[in-house]
Amino acid sequence: MADPRDACGVLGLYGVRGAAPMATLGLHALQHRGQESAGIVTGHNGSLFCRKGMGLVAQVFSGSEGSSLPGEIAVGHVRYSTAGGSSLANAQPLVGRYLGGEVAVAHNGTLAAGAALSEALARKGALFQTTTDTELFLHLLAQEQAASESAVAAMLAHAGPAFAAIFLFPDKMIAARDPWGFRPLVLGRLGKGYAVASETCAFDQMGAVYEREIRPGEMVIFDDGGCRSRCFGDSGGVTARCLLEHIYFARPDSVVFGATPHVVRWQSGVVLAGEFPLEADLVVAIPDSGVSAAMGFASALGLPVERGLIRNHYVGRSFIAPGPEARAMAVRMKHNVVREVVRGRRVVLVDDSLIRGTTTATLSRDLRDAGATEVHLRIACPPTRHPCLYGVDFPRREELLAHRYSLQEIQERLHMDSLGYLSLDGLAGIFGAERDSFCTACWTGNYPV
């Protein structure tokens, strides 16, 4: 149950006819990474053209809005939804003008040193007009007073973790990933041009061909001279790729950090089954987040996977008035039990993660009401106890179930007959030789930077 929300999806196109309409397609495929706002900026004849709005890509670019942005070079962005602080002013890509001319930026991540950078800039007279740290990139660039490759490299070197970002100038595009490689960014070819995106599912949608990851500390410059690579900084050998991308952010069909999330999740289920086996009648995934892990879990134990829960994909949150039954009704707007499947049977619920646990508690009750004789819970990642500093929008620490309660207490609060979390060792083992290249701070509290 993915309570944490990713900090956005980014997309860049260079040398692509009808770059903006094509970018709407790609952003649509990245929609799972952010539903708050969407935006595209294109470059044409020495100027930037921008359209942004609140809502889904299909809402912001309904009709022919996309087509009205001219040019063969574009950067796009989808932003996650937050309760209060969201606003059109924070919608990306951000566009600014400075001594080097016009520039736009689309950013996935969080600048861990944002507060310090912000204060230093303010002391130089900087004026901030948004409440997002993405604006810092533009200010740092304005300090460099140029739009050259070197100016961008110098700016990126100052930014620190964590970012996957794409910069658009009227005549060139630069994509970059921080030296630790927290957030994903992939490079591909689209016809005679180039594409950059957070995940390869955007490439599949646009018909682009995946070439490789952009490397930690690498910036790739796209201009009249084609596409070339440059290193702008290093992390002293530390790689810290965000494992949550594999656990729940990325689309199962993407290639992320060189692997396919569906496959990673399936394997996590297999390992979890080895760590917490049990006797049961069937495995039920919490749809859609737990489906891949549930399949692996069931196959390892030789249990059937059945659809004991059905997800309603229509969003209806707004109907629920506050009141006694309101919370349970809200849960049922998304998930409903298939009674005939669970009646009289021992059920293992599998999910990718467990953050606040409120939904899971309701589902457990609903399953028992429907006649399940036992309800067990298996979580395909370790207990989440620490907030993220590198780009994931977490609940506050006090809201994290595993921060507040012992495993025994959690099992009781969720009305489970048993509870098992995948061990960090088990999870890391899936990646073999690459097991130490990931950030695991939200489970361990060991922050890599």
Site for its own copies in 306-345 (CB under 8 A): 306-307, 310, 312-321, 325, 328-329, 332-333, 336-341
**Smaller CB separation from its own copies, 328 or 424:** 328
**Smaller CB separation from its own copies, 259 or 424:** 259
**Smaller CB separation from its own copies, 84 or 237:** 84
Q: Is 418 in the site for its own copies (CB under 8 A)?
A: no
**Smaller CB separation from its own copies, 299 or 373:** 299
Q: How far apart are CA 216 and CA 332, in angstroms?
A: 42
Q: How far apart are CA 351 and CA 349, in angstroms?
A: 7
Dihedral of CA 231/233/234/240: which sign?
negative
Neighbours of 308 (CB within 10 A): 28
Own/partner contacts of 410-417, CB < 8 Å, gap of 24 or more, are: 410/354, 410/357, 411/377, 413/357, 413/361, 414/357, 414/360, 414/361, 414/364, 414/377, 415/361, 415/364, 415/365, 415/368, 415/375, 416/349, 416/364, 416/375, 416/376, 416/377, 417/374, 417/375, 417/376
* Torsion of Cα atoms, 80 then 84 then 88 then 89, to 10°: -110
Q: Write down the least CB distance from residue 444 to its own copies, Å.
A: 28
* Amino acid found at 68: S
**Phi (first) and psi of residue 149, to 5 degrees:** -55, -40
Q: Is 282 in the site for its own copies (CB under 8 A)?
A: no
Q: Write down the least CB distance from residue 326 to its own copies, Å.
A: 10
Touching its own copies, residues 130-159 (CB under 8 A): 130-131, 135, 138-139, 141-143, 145
Q: Write down the least CB distance from residue 271 to its own copies, Å.
A: 17
Q: Write down the least CB distance from residue 124 to its own copies, Å.
A: 6
**Smaller CB separation from its own copies, 125 or 236:** 125
Q: Is 227 a catalytic residue?
A: no
**Phi (first) and psi of residue 261, to 5 degrees:** -55, -40
Q: Of residues 8, 381, 388, 439, which has the active-site annotation?
A: 8
Touching its own copies, residues 65-124 (CB under 8 A): 66-67, 88, 94-99, 122-124
Q: How far apart are CA 58 and CA 445, in angstroms?
A: 38
Contact 391, 110 (CB under 8 A): yes
Q: Write down the least CB distance from residue 446 to its own copies, Å.
A: 30
Residue 183's nearest CA partner among 29, 324, 446, 391 is 391
Candidates 84, 85, 129, 432: give the one binding its own copies (CB under 8 A): 129
Touching its own copies, residues 48-67 (CB under 8 A): 56-58, 61-63, 66-67
Candidates 45, 83, 85, 127: give the one binding its own copies (CB under 8 A): 127
Q: Write down the least CB distance from residue 36 to its own copies, Å.
A: 13
**Phi (first) and psi of residue 288, to 5 degrees:** -90, -10
Touching its own copies, residues 216-275 (CB under 8 A): 251-253, 255, 260, 262-263, 266
**Smaller CB separation from its own copies, 317 or 396:** 317
Q: Write down the least CB distance from residue 236 to its own copies, Å.
A: 29
**Smaller CB separation from its own copies, 225 or 324:** 324
Touching its own copies, residues 1-40 (CB under 8 A): 21, 24-25, 28-29, 31-32
Candidates 295, 377, 427, 449: give the one binding its own copies (CB under 8 A): 295
Q: Write down the least CB distance from residue 388 to its own copies, Å.
A: 25
Contact 183, 11 (CB under 8 A): no
Q: Is 305 in the site for its own copies (CB under 8 A)?
A: yes
Contacts with its own copies by CB under 8 A: the residue count is: 82
**Smaller CB separation from its own copies, 144 or 218:** 144
Residue 133's nearest CA partner among 8, 21, 289, 258 is 8
Contact 159, 233 (CB under 8 A): no
- Tokens in use for 23? 């970018």
**Crossing angle between the packed helical segments 261-275 and 291-301, to the nearest 10 degrees:** 40
Residue 12's nearest CA partner among 255, 217, 194 is 194
Sheet holding 374-379, edge to edge: 305-306, 282-285, 346-351, 374-379, 418-421
Binding mask 171-210 for its own copies (x = CB under 8 A): ------------------------------x--xxxx---
Touching its own copies, residues 375-394 (CB under 8 A): none
336: left (phi over 0), alpha (psi -120 to 50) or beta: beta
Q: Write down the least CB distance from residue 389 to its own copies, Å.
A: 22
Q: Where are the beta strands (DSSP E) in 232-384?
A: 241-242, 282-285, 305-306, 309-311, 335-337, 346-351, 374-379
Contact 410, 361 (CB under 8 A): no
**Smaller CB separation from its own copies, 227 or 361:** 361
Active-site residues, by number, are 8
